[in-house]
Amino acid sequence: MSDLDAFIAGLPKAELHVHHVGSASPRIVAELAARHPDSAVPSDPEALADYFTFRDFAHFIEVYLSVVDLIRDAEDVRLLTYEVARDMARQQIRYAELTITPFSSVRRGIPDAAFVEAIEDARKSAEAELGVVLRWCFDIPGEAGLEAAEETARIACELQPEGLVSFGLGGPEIGVPRPQFKPYFDRAIAAGLRSVPHAGETTGPGTIWDALRDLRAERIGHGISAAQDPQLLAHLAERRIALEVCPTSNIATRAVRTLDEHPLKELVDAGVLVTVNSDDPPMFGTDLNTEYAVAARLLELDTTGLTALAKNAVTASFMDDAAKARLAAEIDAYARSWRG
Ligand SMILES: [Zn+2]
């Protein structure tokens, strides 16, 4: 391990863009598969590691759907959520806003109240036992249309679990215009939730403008195509609207051809508040520490630069000010101890 990798491994971090089912590591999937022996997913860890070796985007979808198929009852939901937090704790992630798609589970027959109880139970245990603070972003699976939007807004506003902080929109962007979701975001915002749609991952800056205007986005999931629009870059920088950039995901989904062509540096150079995140880490063969290493290479960061990057995520998070100050101080103390 290089010095910089060792620094990253110990650096206290916050993660703002990471999906619930998309965080199921081979270890977690093995546990879920063992609970459901009729599933096609292997429960032997070695066979699973091979099953999980990322080949292409179609393979990602296949693996993703097979994991979705393993989330059948509230106990699966609780186990997945708690075990994801365990993987985060190992990477020194102290705080994560986990994007959860309740619609998928509720449609598959898990009652909404039981679903919410399961994630909340896991959240409290994770905080007490693992020292990881979890918060939720409930997102609309865009490809499932307005029915999913209605159901997601209903669950978010009616049940409003304690850990819920934001409302999102995921799934494909092409063929799924953002403005149609305005009424659902209006309801969520009126209920006190923050707006965090995905935009500008696989489509141009126009989608980001739509997310800002129609969905009143306070942060943008991905947002990398902002690099094509100087006016948008200036707007994001001036309003301190952060981007949740996920470099390895962008390569895996072919949103960007190679890491060397990734616009991360252009976004940072334009003064935009940029955070680095892992999206669906095991499925893209990455984790947050690897994403920090990628950012360090693309942005030529030393430990001071990495410290600032970690603090960007704190700044852009939906923690309260006291929690932000505490985590920022912990990051600074770590950086000092490293230098000393
Ligand atoms: Zn995402």
Q: How far is the CA of 197 from the centre of ligand 1 (A)?
A: 9
**Cβ neighbours of residue 274 under 8 Å, at least 6 residues apart?**
242, 243, 245, 264, 267, 268, 309, 312
- Summarize pLDDT for 136-147 with one digit per residue, the tens: 999 999 999 999
Predicted confidence at residue 223, as pLDDT, reads: 98
Question: How far is the centre of ligand 1, averaged over its atoms, from the C-alpha of 221 (Å)?
Answer: 6
Amino acid letter, 39: S
Ranking 6-10, 31-35, 72-76 by mean pLDDT, the lowest is: 31-35
330 pLDDT above the threshold of 90: yes
* pTM of the predicted protein model: 0.96
Sign of CA dihedral 265, 278, 157, 147: positive
- Cβ-contact 271, 236 below 8 angstroms: no
SS3 164: strand
What's the CA-to-centroid distance between 170 and ligand 1, angstroms?
A: 6
- The residues facing 194 across adjacent strands are 166
Kindly give the interhelix angle for 112-125 and 145-159, rounded to the nearest 10 degrees. Answer: 60
Residue 45 has pLDDT above 80, yes or no: no
What is the Å distance from ligand 1's center to 234 Cα?
24
Ligand 1 centroid – CA 338 distance (Å): 32
CA 228 to chain centre: 23
Architecture in CATH for domain 3-339: Alpha-Beta Barrel (3.20)
Q: Ligand 1 centre and the CA of 277: distance in Å?
A: 9
Structure tokens at 124: 């409290």
**For residue 237, how many other CB atoms are within 10 A of its CB?**
15
Q: Ligand 1 centre and the CA of 102: distance in Å?
A: 15
> Which uninterrupted H or E stretch holds 89?
helix 74-90
| Length of the chain measured in residues | 340
Q: Would you state the structure tokens that stand for residue 213, as one six-digit string?
A: 């205007």
Residues assigned a catalytic role:
201
> 327, 8 in Cβ contact below 8 A?
no
pLDDT at 127 over 90: yes
Decide which of 40 and 178 is more confident.
178
Q: Please classify residue 317 by burial: count the beta carbons closer than 10 Å to its beta carbon, then call 0-12 exposed, 13-18 middle and 19+ buried.
A: buried
Q: With bands split at pLDDT 50, 70 and 90, how would you rate the model's confidence at 224?
A: very high
Tell me how far apart the alpha carbons of residues 254 and 126 are, in angstroms, rounded to a whole number.
34
- pLDDT on residue 44: 82
On average, the pLDDT of the chain sits at: 95
- In 3D space, the residue among 3, 11, 4, 18 whose CA is nearest the CA of residue 327 turns out to be 11
Domain ranges of the chain: 3-339
Token duo for residue 311: 């603090």
Q: How far is the CA of 212 from the centre of ligand 1 (A)?
A: 17
Centroid of ligand 1 to alpha carbon of 18 (angstroms)? 6
C-alpha to C-alpha distance for 197 and 234, rounded to whole angstroms: 20
The neighbour count for residue 180, using CB atoms within 10 Å, is: 14
In this prediction, residue 56 carries a pLDDT of 74
Residue 291 Cα to chain centre, angstroms: 12
Residue-wise pLDDT tens digits, 163-212:
999 999 998 899 999 999 999 999 999 999 999 999 999 999 999 999 99
